[in-house]
Structure 1
């Protein structure tokens, strides 16, 4: 093999190894890497970066082959060895074929990222962030070194009697063009910020925004909603940048979580923004995210239904109360609370807080009633009974029995839980004064064991006419 070819083969190997050698020396000297490697989101529209991610996902199994490690240096060494064997066997053509194949693989491996970076930055220089802040110069230098290595391989196998091929000329010219273009890109205008009226979000705006499809408008509307869903940190971002940001998060969610915006990489990119609100907005822009959100909603609903069904079964398993005198009506319900109490209100007092509960069980004010039902959240098994006259006092089997007065102008006492579930009207004589006697058992169990089964608490609520206002405690075993 001519000395010139050996020098070119050696130079090709050194050029391929140079970025890795430099990186490792830098790590040993400074203790830090190149400053990259994270996941970055930019507000710019970077189609090249998305295409690059797609190509990497498609070809990574090939690029991960050991022969292509270290800038393809092992592959170059193998081709050089094949070329030497070909020369000794009197078949120099084998070496030229191997060298050109190696150069072709390296060009396919390292040239597209440079071209895609040029495309992105010529459209918007902020795309440098999408490729990784601090990584762009390093990445360009690394890929140019390896393309130079490919060129050196082509020169090493070129016969002195053969003119340069078009492939070699192209391989030399393209990296030079890339380097020139990288220095020639300019800044671009910020673009307009359309408000909800211009986007016609509510259906009665001026709708002056054009050039956007329905999903894009819905995404912008959701982010810029002034009343419910808006995300203040993004509301001043130009339309184009905001859409690009959303698509960037969509791509990130698809790559790292199959469309799940709760994937760690996506959560890190979203940072301090309202992830729940942004997830809802992204589901309007990205079919994959919408599909995952719908599936999550379906699973959550199934879990909620199963949880409620289990509580209803637990309540149904408790024996029914057998009144000592016949009530006007008896109703049973499984009732949910997130804030300790279930309530009854007259219409004008709806939502009113009741100050203080007798024995921490039941409290009353004109037109408002509050009854303890859980230590924090959970289901209680509630039986309501309505009487026309005072029923006998029952304390056996109950932990607490407390009676308070209740006045209703409306003439209705309907117990309501945290989900809007109602225990029907328990008054028997219309507007006026009543007594409300509340019995409870299972309270001690849930206080001692937070993980007690849902439906452990049982409440019996008796309502009957009575003008007495003074509360009465018939039993309170929990205070002893």
Structure 2
């Protein structure tokens, strides 16, 4: 079977499959319709199809399916016949590989780490750009050099992305630099189209598809604005961009298809005067640079309160130096839990950073309020916190609060050391009376508002008393112990945020031994599941015991007696001893108080 026939059958089958999949997706449901039209895995549909598509979105998907089918029909036209030298043949295959990647190959490649995708694109386009410079007949060394410069800048940006994925040193990406790279990419497309026109091998249709792909490239700006207005979960902008984005793939396919026409068209365009060529190339190269120069008053808005990444905070020590200003801009413009941002979106990045550094130098909260008022802040009365300002003036904040300069790992290590140090200061008050199970640790309380700690059955879901009821009992009971079924809330006597706690479980009631204690009380407690313990603070917690506490219900399910020893030393430090043993009595007994 001739190659042209095979290609034609493949073309018909591909377009037919795309249309048939759309019809099937319409019958199977929204998620599968998205897969059929967008040519993406089902996982990509879950973000947009959580609550189902409305009629407008479904209609847009059907229209996009027809547009993509028509563009796919043009993309899959068979290559033109003609002699090919080695470099031209290699360029054709590489361009078809780029087309295949844009259509389907990105799906399996995306299964590899991000660095694999970046490396693949870097190698592919480095080869294509190199062959562009040698295969296209530019008819001007200046034009070829300008194109080579733009290609090199594009490859440098791709290499920077690869270094970023590999977590190796990469070039800091500011807004101005990102804009410059975008202009260079546009310039590279323009120069390539100009080179194709001067070469003479490519038809007018191919050149038109190239100019249209340039227009699609420019649609990214309104796309970002529209996505910001509609919300990133709205699928309409993505549907439109995905459909028209195939125009760029069509240009690559058309470029590869017509590479074999070595003889060119019957009449090659005349050579333009050298001076005109030089002026044109100079304008194309210099204009992107001029575009980077903006008026001093023009605001640079890197982040806004709607930026999703602004709702998470990175530790200062985890950020690279060039990332810290961006973190502050993020925090300064975010709206969280109904609280207005520190600075309005109307201020440029430079203005926000300037006001931020002034806040670092402010002597008190009143001076901070004056600065924020001048900046137009809606929350000037709140001032600014050190944990926000540390990102732009670490030398000032770190001098008084060095802990804010730590990385996450350093903070975790410091927290672990602090807990170990607090636990080490606590001693067993009954060292010679060993319980069947026992433990000693520091108990961390909420500062200003924590009434005490629980001894409870954590697996009992039938406890009738709520936390509020237990707190009421603590405040009303002279012993400071609130009991309700399988839960006992034990209050603290002194105004402390930490107390030393020892728990011991016995099979029988130990001697009272009240000497040296300020209060000793005994209350009943129940274990319905065979478990009684004190909450453990755990990793990342703020309240609880600094070490895991044992199960004090040594006899399993049933009733127990809970004896609480409390004392406060001359330094104001508070110490508790909890003794638990089986007992059916439901009386409350004051042994000392």
TM-score, length-scaled by structure 2: 0.37
Which has the higher Rg, Structure 1 or Structure 2?
1
Give the structure with the higher percent helix: 2
